Amino acid sequence: MGGVPRSGTTLLQNMLDSHPDIHGLPEFKILIPIMRLRNMLRVWITGGMIDPGLCSGEDLDRNFREFVNMFLAPHFAEHKCKYLSEKTPDNIFVFSELVELFPEARFILVVRDPRAVISSLLQVRKKVLMQSKDAEIIKYTENFNGVRAAIKFNRQLLESGFNAVKKAPEENLVVVYRQLVLNPEAETKRICEFLKINWSERMQHPGQFKHPGERSMTSEKAAPWYDAKKYNRDPEVKEIEKWKSQLTLAEQIRIAKAFQGHADLENLGYDFSLDYLSTGQRWRGQIQSKLRESIGSTRKAVKRFINRII
């Protein structure tokens, strides 16, 4: 599974892990660097920089497949499960490569309203700056240091995910967070149909079970993202539009405008019009947004001026 961070991948992972035939692994974050190394070596083989007699493209993929399976195989034996699920949000950067390497696997892209995602990312960023001294975590959250950066980050990951779905529609499924929360039975049945497994009623109640990912997802390092209470919970309807009370009017308008006309999101039913706001709210939001843009432009101009002087 993959998706923009804060889009519902953890909830879906725990719902899948609640199925008696599925074991949900903790985040296996090394898939992305593994795939990047594989891609680099394929370029070298294709370009003749690695002699095909030493290693062909088929040899490379077979070896990388065995390398990944080396980490996964023990879990089948230990937990006596038929299937493994894994979710690292950034997986969507390498969905297409993973489909090539594991054609029998199935991939799920979780999509959530960008306003809800960005609102949550901004909250995480604040918590990281207050609670963490880990340079790696702080650097990662720079991707959503402010609305502009968060919009860019969101669009980048969504583009990778939607492109992978279009490239291999049979192996990929899009799950909309709102539908997962509002209609957990119907959505989990749809997911099980896609995975070609029997449905389990347990999937509707992930908060009733313990999940292997809890230890890493609620560790001190991950505290800005989750605590035990937030991690172990059933789908909560109140989370769907929580962003309306967390984002300022200016932020709501700015994000909505950034995603207006996004065909893939609109095809999933997302509405980025501002009809839910009153005329007065729209006016205030527009004014606040313009002021913020002006202040931002002024700051940049001052920085450029100072840099020239220095």
Q: Do 231 and 217 contact (CB within 8 A), yes or no?
A: yes
What does the block give as tokens for 11?
Answer: 């909830």
Q: What does the pLDDT read at residue 288?
A: 76
Phi (first) and psi of residue 175, to 5 degrees: -115, 125
The bridge status of strand 22-24 relative to strand 83-85 is parallel
Give the N- to C-terminal CA distance of the chain in Å, as an integer. 48
Q: Do 1 and 173 contact (CB within 8 A), yes or no?
A: no
Cβ neighbours, 10 Å, residue 251: 22
Q: What does the pLDDT read at residue 264?
A: 97
Contacting residues for 228 by C-beta, under 8 A, at least 6 apart: 214, 218
Cα–Cα distance for residue pair 269/285, rounded to 1 Å: 24
What does the block give as tokens for 27?
Answer: 């985040």
What does the block give as tokens for 130?
Answer: 């207050």
Which H helix or E strand runs over 17? helix 9-17
Residue ranges of the domains in the chain? 2-238, 247-310
Task: Render pLDDT for 54-77 as a digit per residue (tens, 0 to 9).
Answer: 889 899 999 999 999 999 888 888
The CATH homologous superfamily for domain 2-238 is: P-loop containing nucleotide triphosphate hydrolases (3.40.50.300)
State the 10-residue block means of pLDDT for the chain, 310 residues long. Answer: 94 96 91 92 90 88 93 88 92 92 95 97 91 85 92 95 96 97 97 97 95 86 84 91 93 94 96 89 78 68 67
